[in-house]
Amino acid sequence: MRVVTWNLWWRFGPWETRQKAILAVLRELRPDILGLQEVWATGGENQAEWLADELGLHWAWAPSPAPDRWRRRIGDPTVDIGNAVLSRWPVTDRRALRLPAPADVDDGRLALFTRLTTPSYDIPFFTTHLTSALHASAVRCRQVTALAEFIAENRGDTPFPTIVTGDFNAWPDSDEIRLFGGHRTAPVVPGQVFLDAWQYADPHAPSVTWDRENPYVAVGREPSARIDYIHAEPPGPNGLGQVRAVRRAGDGPVDGVWPSDHAAVVVDLADM
C-alpha cells in the first residue's frame, strides 16, 4: 500500500502549470492513499476532485473555516483552501477539526479524519496542516494535543494502524513532534504512540521537504528542513502496516516547473 503526503501550495506561484506537474508526479507514483494540504476550491471547481477524477480515486475535502488571510495574500476573495484525502477505497466516514491557535496566528488550520473501507479492514486516515510561524512551537504543541485527542475519538476498532499525514511545519527534534509521537516523552493520550515513517528510510537519502534547492523556497530566509510527515501507529497483527520503504517525491522540476514549494513524502506499507 502506497501512502503520500503533499502540501500543494494552494494558488501561489504559477498554479495552473504547477497543477499539471503535480498530476504528472502523482500519476508516476500511483498512490493508494494521499493526504493533501493547501488544496484549493472555487466556483464549483475543486482541486481534490479534479485530481481524484484524473487518478481514478475517491476523495474527501474539508475547507478552512477562516480563509481570509490566505485570500488576501493572492488578492482573490473567492478561493477556498483546505485539506483533502484521496483514496483507492471508499471514504465511509469523515470529520474535520479546527486546530486551536491564538488570534495573531490563526488562519483556520485543520485536521481531517477519514475512514477508508477496504475489503479486509477499515483504515483510519488523517491529514493535517499546523501553524507555520517559526516562533509558534507552543501553538503547535497545543495543536498536536488536539490532534492526538481527535485521533483517539475517531480511530475506532480496526487492526490496521492509524495513519497521520501532513505538513507539521516542525523539525523532527521539536517539542511538538516529540509530543505527538509519544515515545520520547509522555503521550497526549495514554498508550497512543506514533512512529515517524522516515525513521525507516535510508539514512543517506535526501530527507528535507522544505528545500532551498527549490526556487520557491530559496527566495525566503528559512533553512532547509524536514517538516512534512507520515506517522503511523506500531504495526498490527503479522506486521500489518509495517513501513517497507520511504522516500521523497516531487522534489525536482517537471518540464521545467517545480510542482510545489514542498516535496512529497512517499511510504510503502505492508497491507496483508
The tens digit of pLDDT for each residue in 154-170 reads 999 999 999 999 999 99
**Of 259, 271, 236, 260, nearest to 24 (Cα)?**
259
Which residue in this structure is represented by grid cell 530527507?
A: 207
224 has pLDDT over 80: yes
How is residue 268 written as a grid cell? 510503502
What's the confidence (pLDDT) of residue 31? 98
What are the structural domain ranges in the chain?
2-269
pLDDT tens per residue across span 44-67: 999 999 999 999 999 999 999 999
The average pLDDT across 237-256 equals 97
What's the confidence (pLDDT) of residue 272? 76
Mean pLDDT estimate for the chain: 97
**pLDDT bracket for residue 6 (50, 70, 90):** very high
What's the confidence (pLDDT) of residue 41? 98
**pLDDT bracket for residue 78 (50, 70, 90):** very high
CB 69 within 8 A of CB 104: no
194 has pLDDT over 90: yes
pLDDT > 70: what percent of the chain?
100
H or E element in which residue 49 lies: helix 47-55
What CATH number does domain 2-269 carry, 3.40.50.720, 3.40.50.1390, 3.60.10.10, 3.50.30.50?
A: 3.60.10.10
What's the confidence (pLDDT) of residue 115? 98
SS3 158: coil
SS (H, E, C) 140-170: HHHHHHHHHHHHHHHCCCCCCCCEEEEECCC
The average pLDDT across 101-129 equals 97
